[in-house]
Amino acid sequence: MGDGRALCFAEWGDPGGFPVFSLHGTPGGRLNRHPDEGKYAVAGARVITYDRPGYGSSSRDPGRSVVDCVHDVAAIADALGIEQFAVTGGSGGGPHSLAVAARLGARVVRARCDVGVAPFGVEGVDFLEGMDPLNVAEFSWAIEGEQRLVPELERELREMGERVAQDPSKLLGDNWALDESDRAVLSRPDFAVVIKEAIEDLVRGGVWGWVDDDLAFAKPWGFDLAEIAVPVEVRYGVRDVLVPAAHGAWLGRNVPGARVVVEESEGHMGDPDKIIEETRWLVTGE
């Protein structure tokens, strides 16, 4: 980066396929992907993931806002010689995908926001209503500020690393009121490999990316959804207790021209076996 920061990224799928930036959730990193990257290739996609600042091997960018990811995505695309691409983001990556769609519209052909949070404090959605109490606690720490948030997330990251080392299906522990559809995804042996790799890298990189994501969600995103002028799909699960359906419904109403997909039988994780059709839409629009 021109400001001296390092950005770490990875590529999956077909090297000659259409570029799709996939922006990870919170917490997460470049190793978060579908366990069978061959399915990206079947969909015709060259999938690019990267560690947001402070995660993995990417330098921290203290005080960043959601919109600041736009410069990072543009820099990676430029470095790879990519002019046009699609972008998708899940959970904490959802608002970041919308920022890219808003500010890099001339380069973005399609975008998806999958189980993404709505902006904090906007009219029409209660940010915390319907969230699992553990998630409410985390956002409450973020609202209080960095000094309150950091030691809590340091503890949570340490405990997460210990759980996953023993059993990757325990990524979130036993105290969350997750839907059974989410538990089923976490229990899949193929996902266990990805979870273990991703969490080991997350622990090595430290807590700052997670901290800065949470702080960014507790303040204005730095762009207006009305700026978006490219095709966007807003997807959310009715049974989601991490990012309640009301967030997706609000985004569906406020992202201009959004195609809204409501998954009645899904929670936060979604159905991994839909990856080919979901990726193909990003590649072709069909």
> Look-up: residue for tokens 């570029």?
19
What is the residue-level pLDDT of the chain in tens, covering all 286 positions?
Answer: 667 899 999 999 999 999 999 999 999 999 999 999 999 999 999 999 999 999 999 999 999 999 999 999 999 999 999 999 999 999 999 999 999 999 999 999 999 999 999 999 999 999 999 999 999 999 999 999 999 999 999 999 999 999 999 999 999 988 899 999 999 999 999 999 999 999 999 999 999 999 999 999 999 999 999 999 999 999 999 999 999 999 999 999 999 999 999 999 999 999 999 999 999 999 999 8
**Residue 27, preceding peptide bond in cis (omega within 30° of 0):** yes
Closest-CA residue to 101 (of 9, 223, 217): 223
CATH number for the region 9-284 comes to: 3.40.50.1820
CB 169 within 8 A of CB 192: yes
CA separation for the pair 193, 189 (Å, rounded):
7
Residues 6+ apart with CB under 8 A from 63: 212, 215
Q: Long-range contacts for 223-226 (Cβ within 8 Å, ≥24 apart)?
A: 223/66, 223/67, 223/99, 223/102, 223/103, 224/102, 225/98, 225/102, 225/251, 225/254, 225/255, 225/256, 226/256
**pLDDT value at residue 2:** 65
DSSP H or E stretch at residue 72: helix 69-79
pTM: 0.96
Q: Is 59 exposed, middle or buried (0-12, 13-18, 19+ CB in 10 A)?
A: middle
